[in-house]
Structure 1
Amino acid sequence: MAPDCSLPRSHLRPKHLPASRGPRIICMEDLHHVHIFASDIEATVDWYCKNLGGSVAYDGDFGGARNIFINIGQGRLNVYDQEPRGEFSGAFHHIGIQTDDLAGLHERLTKNGVEFRSGIREFDNWRYIMCPAPDNVLLELFQIDIPKMEPGLQAFFARS
C-alpha cells in the first residue's frame, strides 16, 4: 500500500527504518562503489581524476574485462572498458559528489571545459549544480551545511 502523500512528510516513516527498540542487526553492509561503462576508458578516467581529484587504485583485468578502479574522496568509482549499452541505464539518474568548496569545484571544472546548464542553485542548507561527465553520466556536485540540518540528515551526510 502506498503512503498517504496528503499527510505532512514528517508523518511518513518508511517501514525499513529501525524501530526505537528491538533486535540489533549484527552484520554490516556498505554501498561500496558505482560501476559505469566507458566508451573511451582513458578519457573517462582522465576526466574523473582531473576534475574530481580521483586516483587510480587498480587498472587491470577483473571479471574478464579491463576495469579501472578510482578512489574519489571516500567513494569509489569502477570504470568498465565497454561501450554503454542502450540509450538508458535503468532507473539510474545521477551520481552525487559531496564537496567542501562548490564554488571552487565549479570554477575548476569550468576552466577544464565542463559545461553547466545553470549556475549553482541554493536551498536552505544545500547548494548544488549538475554537470555531464563522459558517456552522458549526470553528476550532482553539492555542498551542505551539516550543523544546520536536522539530526537525521546530519547523521546521513556526516563524513566518517
Structure 2
Amino acid sequence: MTRVLRLHHVAIVVQDLEASTAWYSEHFGFVHQYDYSLPGSRATMLVHGEARIELIQAEGSTPITPQRQDVGTTLRSGGVNHLALGTDDLEATIALLEAAGVEIVIRPADVPNDSGDRFAFIRDNERMLVELLQPAV
C-alpha cells in the first residue's frame, strides 16, 4: 500500500485569475496564500483551513474540455486540472507505484516556489493526471 495521507490541493485552470480568486473568496471564504508565475502562466494558491485550491491562468487556455490526457495540453483546459495527494515519503510512494505498473509522468522534483516541497505526477487508470506532494515540513 502507498503512503498517501490526504488530499493536498485541487488545481483549476481558469480564464480570469482575478475574477476566479474573488469568486472563491467571496462564495467559500478562501484566503490568498501566495502567487507565482511560470512561463506563459500566472497562479494563485487559495486556502481555507486545510483545503487548498490552486488557480492557474495560462496563455491560450480554453474552457474545460474532455481531452485531458496530454501533459503538454492540460494547462490549456479550464476546470479541475489535477488531483493532488499529500504523502510523507514521495520517493517510496513513487517506487511502489512504479513497481505496480503505474505510469510515472514527472519524476520527483522541487516545487518552483523555494518552499522545499517536492512533487511528482502519475496517471490514474483513466489517464488523468494525479500529483503526489511531499511537504518540506
TM-score (ref. length: structure 1): 0.37
TM-score (ref. length: structure 2): 0.42
Higher relative contact order (CA 8 A, sep 6+): 2
More helix by share: 1
